[in-house]
Amino acid sequence: MRNTQLTYKKRTHGIIPYLFVSPFIISFLVFFLYPTISTIVMSFQRILGPGDVSFIGLRNYQNLLNPLFFTALKNTTIYTFWTILVLVPLPIILAVILNDKTTIGKNVFRSIFFMPALTSVIVAGIFFRYAFGEQETTFINAILGNLGVKPIVWLQQKSTGMFALVVLCTWRWLGVNIIYFLSGLQNIPAELYESADIDGANAINKFINITLPGLRPVIIYVITISVYGGYAMFAESYTYWGTSNPGGIGLTLVQYIYQTGFNQNDMGFASAIGITLLLIVMIVNVIQLSFFGYFRKEED
């Protein structure tokens, strides 16, 4: 009887860990693996409607060699580059300031910086679209007018349109990245800064030799999610330009997928764009992780 109970307990204890991880496994299989496999299969098909499906090989991927795809890829890559260039160094500097004991009103500023992340991207996008309007009385042009600058047609030019997109992204995600870096700063031992003070190191030396190396894991994480977020951007561009996109100014890869799949009813080609986007994000992240030495084996 005792042996039977022990055997039952062993079996139960062996099952319990799988029960705890089963929600993640089920979610992964249902909401990621299955859709990914289905999308890969669909990318080799021509889908004209239910029941009208045929395999066409690599034709959808060959059709990617068109000006619209390269415009969307260029816009998305430039947007991702600028968001990383702004949303990594700027939050680090602000996090260091907010982490300083002498900073007055730290909690208030933390709340102010984080509040935009709680705002709906559609609401924020509509506000910024009107703020960057072309009339003299719009918010940005009115400010520039007081400085003697002529009104700018922000959303009808590539450079200014990209600037408006990056401003919206910075406004929304600056506070989130500050929280990430603040949490990283808490893990840096205070003894390191005390030793640096004894050695006579100034603030810049401590920042370069202690703060940045200590924040390395957080920096890698922020860049990784920024690459994903940049290439997955859709709502911001859609609220600015909708489906018009004069001259392809706001055309992104995800918006190209949306237009192809739902406006043109070509789900096969849209699937090919989606798989290509997945590969691009994976390649970019592998490159940046390799650059930071993430894949190098640590020496003891």
- At CA 281, angle to CA 208 and CA 184, rounded to 5? 30
Which range is least confidently modeled, 212-221, 225-234, 244-253? Answer: 244-253
pLDDT tens digit string along 241-257? 887 777 788 899 999 99
The mean per-residue pLDDT over the stretch 10-14 comes to 59
What is the C-alpha to C-alpha distance for residues 209 and 192, in angstroms, rounded to an integer?
10
First CA to last CA across the chain, in angstroms?
50
Q: Say what the pLDDT of residue 300 is.
A: 42
What is the C-alpha to C-alpha distance for residues 58 and 251, in angstroms, rounded to an integer?
24
pLDDT tens digit string along 257-287? 999 988 888 899 999 999 999 999 999 988 8
CA Rg value for the chain = 25
The rounded mean pLDDT for the chain is: 88
**Amino acid symbol at 141:** N
Query: Looking at the predicted structure, is the pLDDT value of residue 2 above 80?
Result: no
Residue ranges of domains in the chain, CATH in brackets: 2-42 (no CATH), 66-291 (1.10.3720.10)
The mean per-residue pLDDT over the stretch 163-179 comes to 94
What is the C-alpha to C-alpha distance for residues 276 and 253, in angstroms, rounded to an integer?
10
The residues pairing with 52 across neighbouring beta strands, listed in sequence order, are: 49
pTM for the whole structure: 0.88
Query: Looking at the predicted structure, is the pLDDT value of residue 12 above 70?
Result: no
Integer angstrom CA distances of residue 218 from 106, 214, 222, 229: 21, 9, 6, 16
Q: Are 92 and 222 in contact (CB under 8 A)?
A: no
Query: Looking at the predicted structure, is the pLDDT value of residue 59 above 60?
Result: yes
pLDDT tens digit string along 70-122? 999 999 999 999 999 999 999 999 999 999 888 888 889 888 999 999 988 88
